[in-house]
Amino acid sequence: MGSVRVELLSWLADTLETGRASQNTFEEDLGDCRTVRDLLSRYARMHPEFQRLVFDVRTLSLSPRVAIFRNGRQIELEGGIETTLSDGDRLVLVPVLAGG
């Protein structure tokens, strides 16, 4: 299937224990992941902090504190978490800032 480039901005990088010396950008082998949901589910199963703060595998829901961009376009404008992944895609996970 190929691989995607994943970038985690700000505190999101701390939710994955990547073994990559705290890198926030890395290549990820897609394996059997076909959609953004599949990849998020993989991370959530492997990293409890990611599941707690980013993606709940029980409800299959992305935290409202996180936005995801695929190739520069917010996934909500495509297929949401069901957006299909392709070899060479770039995913960026960004914390959503709110306040007044």
Q: According to the model, what pLDDT value does residue 22 have?
A: 54
The tens digit of pLDDT for each residue in 20-56 reads 555 689 999 999 999 999 999 999 999 999 999 999 9
CA distance 71 to 41: 20
The tens digit of pLDDT for each residue in 61-97 reads 999 999 999 999 999 999 999 999 999 999 999 999 8
CATH numbers and ranges of domains, the chain: 3-95 (3.10.20.30)
> From the CB of residue 20, how many other CB atoms can be counted at a distance below 10 Å?
12
Q: According to the model, what pLDDT value does residue 19 have?
A: 58
Judge residue 57's burial from the number of C-beta atoms within 10 Å of its C-beta, 0-12 exposed, 13-18 middle, 19 or more buried: middle
CA distance 24 to 92: 10
**What confidence tier does 58 reach under pLDDT thresholds 50, 70, 90?**
very high
